[in-house]
Amino acid sequence: MFIALLVLGGVVGAAYVFRQVVVKGKRCTSEAKLHGRTVIVTGSNTGIGKTTAVDLAKRGARVILACRNRQRGEAALAHVKQESGSNQVVFMQLDLGNLKSVRSFAETFLRNEPRLDILINNAGIYMAGRTEDGLGMMFGINHVGHFLLTNLLMDRLKECEASRVVNVSSLGHNFGKIDFECLNKHKALGLGTSFMEVLQAYCNSKLCNVLFTHELAKRLQGTKVTCYSLHPGSINSELARNTNSLFQLLLKPITALFFKNTVQGCQTTLHCALQEGIEHLSGRYFSNCTVQEVYSKAKDDAAAKKLWEISERMCGLA
């Protein structure tokens, strides 16, 4: 009995030390205050989007929670207000899987909000299927929806001078590839539904985020708007909720032990949104609150431009 307790204590202790030393990662050290500034966080009803929103609200920002589900969005609104002690928090409905919804969100926002200082493209999904517009689910939500949103809000960002766009990508982008033929034919970056095919399509959509940041930075040269993409770390969130239940069961102990919690998981997003003096790194990719080199496929000028043009056509901007 005593031995068993000792072993258990040892394991828990080791896990705690491991989490504190290895898993935790760097914190955003910026003390920036955001009174009078407006921020949008997409997908902020749960996961790292929600903890990002709480932090920004605490700093005094007016925070727009852009979420697709009204009930979940309003529950998050109450939570963020309570945690931050701020009443400058607003819920606005946005479904990134529906381009009409993106347009109507942008219209409402532009009509009601005079400023936009920080746009955080955080929402993401891990799931096979199609969006309402017939695009590949992950390509459509993780990439095209945000592409349209960012473009529709661009003038407001430019009006606010030193504003920023932050794209939550993933380490998975390293395994991504962009098959333009598949994109033209099927409006998707992968079609299968097997475990590996879904994983691959997720990585492809996340490579789009990095490439877009690369192209956007170029298009923003000469303005004061800067943009960043990032890997938040491996986080114990709801991202795997649409995978099969056996996989989720196996994943549970791993995420509990080896993954960051959502407060740790939002630090790199905060760093990209707030850290003073990183403007010269516009277009770059961050992880662990540090700028990182990417493979050449993630800064491929020609691919980034081509993807931009296809995306424009897909959401009727061109």
Ligand X SMILES: NC(=O)c1ccc[n+]([C@@H]2O[C@H](COP(=O)([O-])OP(=O)(O)OC[C@H]3O[C@@H](n4cnc5c(N)ncnc54)[C@H](OP(=O)(O)O)[C@@H]3O)[C@@H](O)[C@H]2O)c1
Where on the chain is the footprint of ligand NAG (CB under 6 A)?
Answer: 25-26, 121, 143, 146-147, 150, 165, 167, 208-209, 212-213, 216, 227, 229, 288
Quote the CA–CA distance of 128 and 260 in Å, as a whole number. Answer: 25
Of 25 and 60, CB closest to ligand X? 25
- For residue 254, the minimal CB distance to ligand NAG (Å) is 16
Going by C-alpha positions, the residue among 43, 295, 29, 40 that lies closest to residue 171 is 295
Our finding on whether 268 is near ligand X (CB under 6 A) is no
Going by C-alpha positions, the residue among 200, 227, 237 that lies closest to residue 286 is 227
Q: How far is CA 116 from CA 120, 124, 292, in A?
A: 11, 21, 27
Our finding on whether 176 is near ligand X (CB under 6 A) is no
Of 5 and 54, CB closest to ligand X? 54
**Six token digits for residue 242:** 């649409």
**Is 295 known to be catalytic?**
no
User: Is the CB of residue 53 less than 8 Å from the CB of residue 88?
Assistant: no
Residue 227 interacts with, from ligand NAG, ligand X, none (CB under 5-8 Å by kind) = ligand NAG
Our finding on whether 234 is near ligand X (CB under 6 A) is yes
User: Of the candidates 122, 213, 226, 282, which one interacts with ligand X according to CB under 6 A?
Assistant: 122
- Beta strands 38-42 and 118-121 are parallel
Residue 213 interacts with, from ligand X, ligand NAG, none (CB under 5-8 Å by kind) = ligand NAG
Q: Which of 16, 126, 202, 228 is catalytic?
A: 202
Our finding on whether 43 is near ligand X (CB under 6 A) is yes
Which residues does the annotation mark as catalytic?
202
